[in-house]
Amino acid sequence: MKLVDYFSLAFDGVKERKGRSIGAVIGIVIAVVALALALGIGEAFRAMFYETLRRAFGPDIIYVMPTEHLTESDILIMSSLPNVEHVIPIVGQGVLLKAGTFERSVMVYGIRAEYLKFIMGVEDLEEAIEEGSPDLVGLNILVGEYLSYNYLTKTKLIEIGQQVILQGVDRTTIAVVTGILKASSGPGVAFINTGSSVFMDIDTFFSLFRRDMTYDLAIVKVKDVNRVEETIEIIKAYVPQAEVFSLKFALEQFGIFMNSVQIFLGAVSGIGLFITGLWIFDTMTINVVQRTREIGVMKALGFKKRQIMFLFLAEALVITIIGVAIGAVVVLGLAQVVGIPMFGALIKPKITPFILLLVTLTPIATNIVATLAPAYRAAKLDPVEALRYE
Amino acid sequence: MSSIINVVNVTKVYKMGEAEVWALKGVSLEVADREFIAIVGPSGSGKSTLLYVIGGLIRPTSGKVYINGVDITTMNDDKLSEFRHENIGFVFQMYHLIPRMTALKNVMLPLKLRGLSGREARRRALEALKLVGLEHRANHRPTQLSGGEQQRVAIARAIVTEPKIILADEPTGNVDRKSALQIMDLFTRLNRELGVTIVMVTHNLELVRYCRKAARLLDGRIVRIYTSSEYRKLAEDMTRGV
Ligand SMILES: Nc1ncnc2c1ncn2[C@@H]1O[C@H](COP(=O)(O)OP(=O)(O)OP(=O)(O)O)[C@@H](O)[C@H]1O
Ligand SMILES: [Mg+2]
């Protein structure tokens, strides 16, 4: 028998049981859409975080995160190591910023003025200044643009030269706003959100908030990118009390994490596929029972076992392919409109060709497997008993 | 005349758990080419079993069945399917048309199985429907047809592959008398004009006179084969049950 004839016969069968077939198709559509969106969201997160990581870690940057104290002498040692261009120490603390009636919890970072341009990703710090001057000495502070301006009400919250209060856990101080910093798009180097943070001179920071003069983080910029791994090993030897890692490491770790997140998301939404598989199994089993006499007739007409089996498989395939096709269209449509708001952006599911292939082939495979048993049952029916079946 | 069907000492035992039912107890029957023969006998005497053994739908417990000189009892399932498709047209009491398909599609089904193109299958199916006088019902579904019409569609389906043999199991058992006679006329034409060998199981002695011979089964055995001149005797024997 010709392949088209199998499918045309199968299609007649699908049409005959419209209600059940439509139910199965809807189930498949939902399962396909759920799986594709879950994986697509995972994929979008992965892409976004990769991008963030890439921005936070240039290829020439090594992060040194202390597990114990990281002191000035550690910084000096690292600065003198081979292939190290410079070492940027960073300290930060959460405080309550009060400017008139405006109050906001913010991070205040202590940093040397000459290194701030590096955090901001500019050649000259002037480029990163929205307003005022980058004069980071004494009690002068620079504040991010999101703190200085309310974009909703379009009102200024903080003026240049204004005195503001920084209220720490055990220390409160007055500081003077000397400049407004532009926001870098998304979290930048060291994951510092420049648009909504406060920067002050590191010595002032130490005397106000960190009497023991230890650092939270050091960023090492290397001269030769190709020797990053080697430099990491040397730093580890000299600064054993710190985690030392690079972009490659971070991406690897993140990749492992995202893989398990996606497998988890896939498994949870894959339950839908399992349920549609059961539904197809059920539908096809009922189908075989209802068509017992018909199967007897077909056998009398000369249909072979495998031809009967293929007829039922074709029927499951017709239902599945209709469901998968509708599902794929719905997925591609929804991917344009739905999204999860995060970090001020809308994260839209990223439907890669791999995801599309996976969510189309998996239901087809699942439903073929689900149909094998009932189809086999049909194939091995005794023709005469089938013809007598009431 | 050569024999197209040769049944040699066939037994059929149905096993139902411990119990055994001997449906055929050593049946031998030769049917000549172009023959039109009836199988008669009381209910449970083994008529259907014999018919399906001849058609390769039931494997005998012992004995041989030769069709056109070929032993079909040693064939595997696939070979038997092919054999049925090429040589046999079945007609059942309950018509067994596929309800979701039109008359035309039902008749086209064996040709589709054969791999014929849609156009060719359609042409030949329409021809077969014309032969049974139902070409104007081609696009009706079985539920839109009378019992007699459904059975004629089933006959069209049986002859569309031009089989040498038609095996009919009480083909008139579910239709009114007028339709039954119409069906018998049709069988007679198929037999005379197309040379189809027909084996027909029936209860109805009125219909036996269309056949040239009648084999009478009793309790799993053929007790006698009657020629058309002996039908009065057949009627007597049947009523006496000997
Ligand atoms: N699948 C089966 N399992 C067990 N016994 C069976 C089976 N098929 C038929 N029989 C028995 O075999 C015997 C012959 O059955 P068969 O159907 O051949 O008779 P029949 O002459 O066609 O009867 P009827 O005129 O009622 O159709 C009967 O006793 C029947 O009960
Ligand atoms: Mg019977």
Percent of chain B's residues with pLDDT above 70 = 100
How far apart are alpha carbons A345 and A292 in whole angstroms? Answer: 58
What is the distance between the alpha carbons of residues A80 and A39, in angstroms, rounded to a whole number? 47
Backbone angles phi and psi of A345, in degrees to 5: -120, 160
**pLDDT band, very low/low/confident/very high, at A169 (cuts 50, 70, 90):** confident
Instruction: Give the residue-averaged pLDDT of A339-363.
Output: 86
Task: Confirm whether A135 is domain-assigned.
Answer: yes
In this complex, is the C-beta atom of B58 within 8 Å of any C-beta atom belonging to chain A? yes
What value does the mean pLDDT take over residues B39-65? Answer: 96
Q: What residues does A106 pair with on adjacent strands?
A: A95
Q: Is the dihedral of CA A23, A26, A32, A33 positive or negative?
A: negative
Tens digit of each residue's pLDDT (9 = 90 or more) over A123-151: 788 888 888 988 889 999 999 988 888 88
- Chain centroid to CA B69: 19
Structural domain for A133, as ranges? 90-214
Answer whether B75 touches A (CB < 8 Å): no
Query: Are A274 and A362 members of one domain?
Result: yes
Interface check B95 vs A, CB under 8 A:
no
Q: Which of B57, B84, B109 sits opposite A384 (nearest CB)?
A: B57
For the stretch A170-191, pLDDT in tens is: 889 999 999 999 887 555 677 7
3-state secondary structure of A11: helix
Q: Could you give the angle at the alpha carbon of A389 between the alpha carbons of B184 and B54, nearest 5°?
A: 50
A300 within domain boundaries: yes
Domain end position, chosen among A185, A214, A243: A214
Question: Do A371 and A280 form a contact (C-beta atoms < 8 A)?
Answer: yes
Last residue of a domain, one of A167, A197, A214: A214
d(CA A210, CA A187): 24
Identity of residue A143: V
Q: Which residues partner with A340 through β-bridges? A: A347
Q: Give A209-247 pLDDT, tens digit per residue.
A: 988 889 999 999 899 988 988 999 999 999 998 888 887
- The 8-class DSSP code of residue A215 comes to B
Residue A69 domain-assigned?
Answer: no
Structural tokens at position A220: 């090492």
A170: in domain: yes
Beta bridge partners of A182: none
Residues facing B227 on adjacent strands = B213
* From A45-49, A175-179, B13-17, B94-98, the region with the lowest mean pLDDT: A45-49
Check if the beta carbon of residue A27 is closer than 8 Å to that of residue A275.
yes
Within this chain, do residues A175 and A270 fall inside the same structural domain, yes or no? no
More confident residue, A190 or B41: B41
Determine the pLDDT at residue A280.
94
- Name residue, tokens 């040693």: B74
- Pocket around ligand 1: residues whose beta carbon is below 6 Å from it? A 385; B 14, 16, 21, 23, 41, 43-49
Whether the per-residue pLDDT at A318 is higher than 90: the answer is yes
**CA distance linking residue A368 with residue A362, whole number of Å:** 10
Are A173 and A139 in contact, with CB atoms under 8 Å apart?
yes
Compute chain B's Rg from CA coordinates.
Answer: 18
Q: Closest chain A residue to B110 measured between Cα atoms?
A: A301
Query: Which of A187-191, B39-43, B224-228 is predicted least confidently?
Result: A187-191
Nearest by CB: B52 against A9, A298, A384 = A384
Pair (A256, A365) in one structural domain: yes
Does any domain span residue A96?
Answer: yes
Class for the domain spanning B3-240: alpha beta
What the block records as the tokens of A179 is 């400049």
Query: What is the number of structural domains in chain A?
Result: 2
Q: Does residue A70 belong to any structural domain of this protein?
A: no
Of the listed ranges A32-36, A45-49, A376-380, the one predicted with least confidence: A45-49
Torsion-angle region of residue A32: left (phi > 0), alpha (psi -120 to 50) or beta?
A: alpha
CA of B95 to the centre of ligand 2 (A): 14
Give the Cα separation of B216 and B241 in Å (integer): 11
> Tens of pLDDT along B11-32?
999 998 899 999 999 999 999 9
Confidence of residue A343 (pLDDT cuts 50, 70, 90): low
| Token pair of B143 as six digits | 């539920």
Average model confidence (pLDDT) for chain B?
95
A58 inside domain:
no
Helices (H), ranges, chain A = 3-16, 18-56, 72-80, 113-120, 145-148, 202-209, 228-238, 247-290, 292-301, 305-337, 353-379, 383-388
- Report pLDDT digits (tens) over A77-100: 999 999 999 899 999 999 999 988
Give the pLDDT of residue A379: 96
Angle (deg, nearest 10), helices A292-301 and A305-337: 120
